[in-house]
Amino acid sequence: MSAADPWSRPTLDDLRQVLESIGKSDTVHDRAAERLELSVPAEVVTSRGSNVPAMTREISRFGIGLLHRGSVSPGDVTVKMASDTREYKYLVRLEWCTPCDNGMFMSGGRFLGKLDE
């Protein structure tokens, strides 16, 4: 894939630029779970079976934030993440998707459950 591929996975630099452009807000978020900033490669599989390469932005016990090129419609999706030793698959209800810098999109949703291989 070339760097110009509109569906290529965002890089860590892309993620850093987007996060810097958003800035760290001083707003207190009333969230039930502590969120960890986490940047790992992920893949979103939509209900129509499209694969969208992504990077995670943050993760909590209840949900996940993603960065990807191209819009993904809210709804139930499968999110795959890999560690060095295995792949993890989760059913996620994507609740929002919004455009951000560099033609990329941020989305977020809540975990519905872990999927077995």
Tens digit of each residue's pLDDT (9 = 90 or more) over 1-35 = 444 465 677 777 877 777 666 555 445 555 555 66
What is the C-alpha separation between 33 and 9, in angstroms, rounded?
27
User: What are the boundaries of each domain within the chain?
Assistant: 12-21+35-115
Tens digit of each residue's pLDDT (9 = 90 or more) over 54-80 = 999 998 889 999 999 989 999 999 999
Token pair in block for residue 69: 């090129």
Q: Side chain identity at 102, as an amino acid letter?
A: N
What is the C-alpha separation between 52 and 22, in angstroms, rounded?
23
Token pair in block for residue 7: 């569906």
CB 79: neighbour CB atoms within 10 A? 23
Q: Which homologous superfamily does the CATH classification assign to the domain defined by 12-21+35-115?
A: predicted glycosyltransferase like domains (2.40.10.220)
Tens digit of each residue's pLDDT (9 = 90 or more) over 35-45 = 667 788 899 99
